[in-house]
Structure 1
Amino acid sequence: MRSLAAADAARSALVVRALGDGRGGEDTAGPLRVVRVDGRHRRAVEVPGITAWAARARNLHILVTLLEEAGIDYFCVRGTASPNPCVAVPERLRAEVEDVLRTGCGHYAGYVGGVAPGPVRQGASTASWRALRTQRVLRIAWNVCDPTGKLVFGRESGCDIEFWAEQEGRLLAPRPNRVTTEVPVDAGRCRAEQKRFSEVPFMYTTGQARTLPEFVAALPDDHLFPIDVVYTWVDDSDPVWRARKEATRRVLERSTDDGTLHEQAANDSRYASRDELRYSLRSIHQYAPWVRTIYLVTAGQVPSWLDTAFPGIRVVDHTEIFSEPDALPTFNSHAIESQLHHIPELSEHFLYLNDDVFLGRPVQPGTFFHPNGLSKSFRSKALIPSGRADFTDLPVNAAGKNSRGLIAQQFGTVISQKMKHTPHALRRSVLTEIEQVYAHAHRVTQHSRFRSPHDVPVVSSLYHYYAYHSARATAGDIRYQYIDLADDLAQRRLNTLLARRNYDTFCMNDTVAAADPEAQDRMVADFLNAYFPVPSPYERAATGIPAPRTAPAAELDGARA
């Protein structure tokens, strides 16, 4: 076996967020630290910019590198029920594997255990491997943490090792998968990118690994289509934007019958920004590496910290998407949302998020879309009030009533539920169809400069029920939390959310002005910095991100791995 120093050099060539600043270059892994993992003190390597997906990719890369350096036969497996990467080894080689990994765990502070929840053991200990010898599937992890120590990735981000038994010239899997559970002992190996087995964003390159042709082929339940993300954003502190907003409001109030707008149609809290977008983008980078392109829809504004040159992000101005330019300027989210499907080069399937919506843990494309392309909607327990919309309704309720009227007219059913404040899974073609089917209501919404009793909530309600009734969407399920920042229990709920990190997505909303804005701002800032301490690559170096580093293309492909 070549030295561990050589294996370490190969590992350093893995260009993913786990081993650098996310933009390519040298390994910037730091020293070993003692952290809390599953209630116990464990050793972890400090890695700037670590993410959940990068921790998984790192574990797979270390394991593959060690096996290849030792000349041990293996092949990567996909299709198991576990989201963790998986490597299969013939059971007759188990003693050699244990020996190699025991040494590797001593060098890299690795831990090993079963795949079922339970304690993990020090991988450098012979006794640990002896105690696990009856288990044919193990999970190995080299713990990592970010420099703040707030993010720690252990066994939940580990890599599985399956020991395949040999019987009558065939290797038999120890557990089911969706591809094949037995192969000839001498089955030919091929090579594929490691990112095939451990989700890594398209802009990053990993090394290759051995596998079987069966595990490279596309499966019917693979999500083979691209999925984009769309945000709408406004900088309410921009004096030019504020002056335009006030001027537009004065003109509108003079032109309305009673001279007033509903107090929540244009109140400042609706536009307030606490840099939530920065942290929502961090949540996408941390927990949804499968996203292709992020589009930020704005009114000629760009966050000062946003690196628009980084691959995978694009700023779109309202003037690029409004089908009728005379509807601008607008300060109505319903109007802006009605035009999102006009974004140039937007994928057919995309997620729409407000900047106060965040992913709270790793999610998969299947959370939002079926593999056959059907979208999923997430209905709330909150109900749309009865009756027809009028000027006394909260804008959100008036819009829901209008959506109900259109669906009842078209399909003969009466909708009652609002949708949760989650990412909205949408299809561009369905939104285009809605614009044609409900042309009048759609145009009225586009031309409402502030929220109006005549608005239709195209992406947050109408789409979901229209797609459902036309067999292009299903009711989905998502673990979600809504936090009203004005609520007396908001701080307690944020603390619980931070401690448990057990929701797929959450929303922090404030529709009314805070009694103490400064205290609320501090509460939100402290929470977001603690939950999302790792900057995304979409942030400029001036905001604290290390300057971009590049490496020769040959290095980016990894060494032997």
Structure 2
Amino acid sequence: MTDSSSAARVYQRIVPRPVRAVAGNRVSPGVRRKVKGGLVRTLNRREARLHRRALRMVRKGDFASASDRRARTPDGRVGHVHQGLTVDLARRLDHDLVTSALDAADIPWFAVPALDDRRICLAVEQQDKGQVRRVLRALLEEHTGYVVSAAPVDNDTRLVPGSHVKAWKNYAKAKAIRVTWLRTEPTENLWVGEDQGIEIEFWTVNSDLSHDRLVGPRPNRVQRVVSRDALGIEIGFDRLSGYCDIDGDLGPSVTLEQFDIARLEEITFPVDAVLLWEHPGAWGEELLRASLRSLHQYAPWVDVVHVVAQAPVPEWLRADDGRLAVTSAPHGADGRLHLLTDIAEHFLVFRPGALLGRPTRPFDYFTPNGTTRPRRGMWTAAESFAPWTGHAYSATGRAVTQTFAPGPQPYTRSVLRGLAESGAAAEPSPDGQTQPRLPGAHPADGLAHHFAFAHGLADPSGETTAVVHAALPGITLQLDRLLARRDLQQLHFFGLGSDEALSHGGSRAVVGFLRRYFPVASPFEHGYPEDPGTYT
């Protein structure tokens, strides 16, 4: 458990240098090795006692993060299975596990707004570093997880369970570590944790001034030096991570008063989502279900979901949830979405087949001052002659020089209201789910976003969107790649109702992909993913 180098350091601390110099000349190497070997055995026994004590303390704790069962990841690591797993739930479980263990060991800590807000960062004092290792190693023995050095970055222990001694071989030099738990849901199609985890920084005490200060080992979003006796306060998770729900159920964490500062990219206004429902039937309902689940999983900050139904509403849609509003509307309602009852000023539009593929922030679609950040598409010669570009030029007097991608797009009521007052209207768009090829930019998107850009109300961005037609030859391979990588923020599927896709199995392949990519039910539907009735 304790290597010879640790024993050598202890030997140097307890034996004065003059004595070591004399011993080096007069004591044989064999005797010196025997003394150091005795130190190694003594330190091993002491560390084992401390580990057993930390393990007993951890086992006495009441951890609500216990999983239903355990599973193996494709690379052989141990994961935990949870019903209804979401990215936000995993973040909360990780935070509660670590903070409960630190509290049980009476180790003071506080949350730090890290530069990378995918992860929650905690700070402890450098003097508690030894105790932190013991209590976390005990915790990782009870709840199997993994630990790596975050500063300096060293991931060579990522495959070694954190309960093993060799998982901590880089701990002595680490200024910050990352503890992760891999989590999945019962179908084991969705794995969460690899890009998250809890980072723990070791802050040093500086006593050069009249009052002690704590100095952080690396930059954060606020400051690296704080007073050691600063007041502790509660802080919402949305201040620590832009991927969290502003009004969510995560509850607060604890930080110092100096850190309760809004992020530069923080969005404080509510954002709704609008889902257009047009296609009754099995594949159409699956597209609607997947859009709802992608919002639940990857955009927990969305306030109210509005389903604009242009077809009979599916029976499984749960309309009794306060966050869901269902409105019947005729076809071509894109330009009148600002007239929806109680819709927020800012909202995302999901046309059939539009999905979120990984965690998002409100800042990915809006700026703090309220302007939109629509996603740009590929500008081609054919796109420059599309009818919507002429309407956009007539409405603004400015030539169109960019197009906009499929997938979820941000809107504001004020832009749609301004378009309506100007008399500009986009021509009807062909149904992208029944066409034999991929469509260009949606006319309503092109007109609205160009109008907003011309009036300084939009700042187009370039995040990649995966656009797939269900009739694509070899679509199974493409879907398997998307499922394995899960690295694209936006997805959009077209052509599920086309004759080619229905006759050659492309629609069936996309439906199977969606069930695997989004296995966790949203609160907007009856049933659960394990219930066969969910897919009837």
TM superposition score normalised by structure 1: 0.76
Aligned match for 2:407, one of 416, 422, 425? 422
Q: Deviations over 1:357-403 (max 9, x none)?
A: 11111121121112222111222214363897xxxxxxxxxxx42x3
> Does the residue aligned with 1:131 lie in a helix, a strand or coil?
coil
Aligned match for 1:498, one of 461, 476, 483? 483
Q: Deviations over 1:483-518 (max 9, x none)?
A: 111221322221211121121111110187223616
Q: Which runs of 4+ in 1 moved over 6 A?
A: 448-451
What is the aligned partner in structure 2 of residue 245 from structure 1?
A: none
Percent of aligned positions with the same letter in both sequences?
27
Q: Is the 8 Å Cα contact of residues 185 and 191 (structure 2) preserved in structure 1?
A: yes
Quick one: distance in 2 between partners of 1:46 and 1:53?
A: 15
1:218 aligned onto 2:218: no
Quick one: distance in 2 between partners of 1:376 and 1:386?
A: 20
The 5 Å alignment of 1:484-495 reads: 484-495=469-480
What is the aligned partner in structure 1 of residue 291 from structure 2?
A: 280
Taking structure 1 as reference, are residues 75 and 384 closer, same or farther at Cα in structure 2, changes over 3 Å only? same
Quick one: distance in 1 between partners of 2:256 and 2:477?
A: 50
1:529 aligned onto 2:515: yes
1:30 aligned onto 2:30: no
Unpaired segments ≥5 residues, structure 2: 1-53, 432-440
The 5 Å alignment of 1:150-169 reads: 150-168=189-207, 169=212
What is the aligned partner in structure 1 of residue 390 from structure 2?
A: 405
CA shift, 1:353, in A, is 0.7
Q: Deviations over 1:436-486 (max 9, x none)?
A: 01x2x43x86xx7988xxxx9664111111111111111202121111112
What is the aligned partner in structure 2 of residue 118 from structure 1?
A: 155
1:183 aligned onto 2:183: no
What is the aligned partner in structure 2 of residue 247 from structure 1?
A: none
Q: Is the 8 Å Cα contact of residues 279 and 311 (structure 2) preserved in structure 1?
A: no
Q: Is the 8 Å Cα contact of residues 539 and 545 (structure 1) preserved in structure 2?
A: no
> Does the residue aligned with 1:163 lie in a helix, a strand or coil?
strand
What is the aligned partner in structure 2 of residue 132 from structure 1?
A: 171
Higher mean alpha-carbon deviation, 344-353 vs 535-544, is at: 535-544
CA shift, 1:51, in A, is 1.7
What is the aligned partner in structure 2 of residue 86 from structure 1?
A: 121
Quick one: distance in 2 between partners of 1:44 and 1:96?
A: 26
The 5 Å alignment of 1:3-402 reads: 3-7=57-61, 9=62, 11-12=63-64, 29-36=67-74, 40-115=75-150, 116=153, 118-119=155-156, 120=158, 121-168=160-207, 169-194=212-237, 196-197=239-240, 199-201=243-245, 204-237=248-281, 273-299=284-310, 301-318=312-329, 330-331=330-331, 335-383=332-380, 385=382, 400-401=386-387
Taking structure 1 as reference, are residues 410 and 52 closer, same or farther at Cα in structure 2, changes over 3 Å only? same
Quick one: distance in 2 between partners of 1:94 and 1:294?
A: 46
Q: How many residues end up aligned between the 2 structures?
A: 460
What is the aligned partner in structure 1 of residue 33 from structure 2?
A: none
Higher mean alpha-carbon deviation, 417-426 vs 202-211, is at: 202-211
> Does the residue aligned with 1:228 lie in a helix, a strand or coil?
strand
Higher mean alpha-carbon deviation, 291-300 vs 216-225, is at: 216-225
Q: Deviations over 1:104-145 (max 9, x none)?
A: 010000210123473414221233224232121111012211
Taking structure 1 as reference, are residues 374 and 190 closer, same or farther at Cα in structure 2, changes over 3 Å only? same
> Does the residue aligned with 2:195 lie in a helix, a strand or coil?
helix
Quick one: distance in 1 between partners of 2:128 and 2:110?
A: 13
Q: Is the 8 Å Cα contact of residues 535 and 545 (structure 1) preserved in structure 2?
A: no
Taking structure 1 as reference, are residues 546 and 491 closer, same or farther at Cα in structure 2, changes over 3 Å only? closer
Taking structure 1 as reference, are residues 449 and 114 closer, same or farther at Cα in structure 2, changes over 3 Å only? closer
**Aligned amino acid, residue 539 of structure 1:** E
Q: Is the 8 Å Cα contact of residues 195 and 206 (structure 1) preserved in structure 2?
A: no
Taking structure 1 as reference, are residues 545 and 184 closer, same or farther at Cα in structure 2, changes over 3 Å only? farther
Q: Deviations over 1:46-83 (max 9, x none)?
A: 11111222212211111111111221110011142342
Taking structure 1 as reference, are residues 34 and 467 closer, same or farther at Cα in structure 2, changes over 3 Å only? same
Q: Is the 8 Å Cα contact of residues 113 and 139 (structure 1) preserved in structure 2?
A: yes
Higher mean alpha-carbon deviation, 203-212 vs 63-72, is at: 203-212
Quick one: distance in 2 between partners of 1:104 and 1:219?
A: 32
CA shift, 1:5, in A, is 4.1
Quick one: distance in 2 between partners of 1:3 and 1:79?
A: 29
Taking structure 1 as reference, are residues 65 and 473 closer, same or farther at Cα in structure 2, changes over 3 Å only? same
Quick one: distance in 1 between partners of 2:227 and 2:528?
A: 55
What is the aligned partner in structure 2 of residue 24 from structure 1?
A: none
Q: Is the 8 Å Cα contact of residues 307 and 539 (structure 1) preserved in structure 2?
A: yes
Quick one: distance in 2 between partners of 1:512 and 1:277?
A: 14
Rg (Cα) greater in structure: 2
Q: Which has the higher contact order (CA 8 A, sep 6+)?
A: 1
> Does the residue aligned with 1:358 lie in a helix, a strand or coil?
strand
Q: Is the 8 Å Cα contact of residues 140 and 155 (structure 1) preserved in structure 2?
A: no
Quick one: distance in 2 between partners of 1:179 and 1:537?
A: 36
**Aligned amino acid, residue 184 of structure 1:** S
Taking structure 1 as reference, are residues 516 and 472 closer, same or farther at Cα in structure 2, changes over 3 Å only? closer
Aligned match for 2:525, one of 504, 523, 539? 539
Q: Is the 8 Å Cα contact of residues 239 and 263 (structure 2) preserved in structure 1?
A: no
1:513 aligned onto 2:524: no
Taking structure 1 as reference, are residues 449 and 47 closer, same or farther at Cα in structure 2, changes over 3 Å only? closer
Quick one: distance in 2 between partners of 1:299 and 1:183?
A: 57
Quick one: distance in 2 between partners of 1:339 and 1:170?
A: 57
Q: Deviations over 1:534-555 (max 9, x none)?
A: 22222213775699xxxxxxxx
Quick one: distance in 2 between partners of 1:546 and 1:178?
A: 46
**Aligned amino acid, residue 349 of structure 2:** Y
Taking structure 1 as reference, are residues 528 and 225 closer, same or farther at Cα in structure 2, changes over 3 Å only? same
**Aligned amino acid, residue 477 of structure 1:** G
TM superposition score normalised by structure 2: 0.79
Q: Is the 8 Å Cα contact of residues 426 and 459 (structure 1) preserved in structure 2?
A: no
Quick one: distance in 2 between partners of 1:58 and 1:367?
A: 25
**Aligned amino acid, residue 421 of structure 1:** P
